[in-house]
């Protein structure tokens, strides 16, 4: 799976799980400023990513640290799924 494919899936997950977003989500979208995520949204995103990519994210702190923008999350997930 390419990094671009991972990003596309992550954006689809965001669009599907975080309804009410008026902004177009792309790699530069910031989770807490542009997408306006809260703690419940982070949990929903984590669960949706684990299910969609069939992975288990054990280090939640590491996961939340990568939530600066969509590209940061894409890089984090890509490094897990490419193994």
Domain count, the chain: 1
Tell me whether residue 19 is exposed, middle or buried, using C-beta atoms within 10 angstroms of its C-beta: 0 to 12, 13 to 18, 19 or more: exposed
Where residue 35 sits, what CATH number does that domain have? Answer: 1.10.1200.10
Q: What pLDDT shows up at residue 24?
A: 83
Indicate yes or no: pTM above 0.85.
yes
pLDDT digits (tens, 9 = 90+) for 52-82: 999 999 998 999 999 999 999 999 999 999 8
List the domain range (segments joined by +) for residue 60.
Answer: 3-18+27-81
- Residues 62, 66, 72, 77, CA torsion sign: positive
Q: What is the pLDDT of residue 22?
A: 60
Q: Is the pLDDT of residue 17 over 80?
A: no
Those residues whose C-beta lies under 8 Å from the C-beta of residue 77, and which sit 6 or more positions away, are 6, 10, 49, 53, 55
């Amino acid at each position: 799976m390419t990094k671009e494919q991972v990003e596309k899936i992550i954006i689809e997950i965001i669009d599907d799980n975080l309804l009410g977003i008026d902004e177009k989500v792309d790699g530069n979208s910031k989770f807490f400023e542009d997408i306006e995520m809260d703690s419940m949204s982070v949990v929903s995103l984590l669960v949706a990513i684990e299910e969609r990519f069939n992975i288990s994210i054990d280090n939640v702190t590491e996961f939340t640290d990568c939530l600066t923008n969509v590209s940061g999350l894409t890089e984090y997930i890509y490094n897990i799924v490419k193994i």
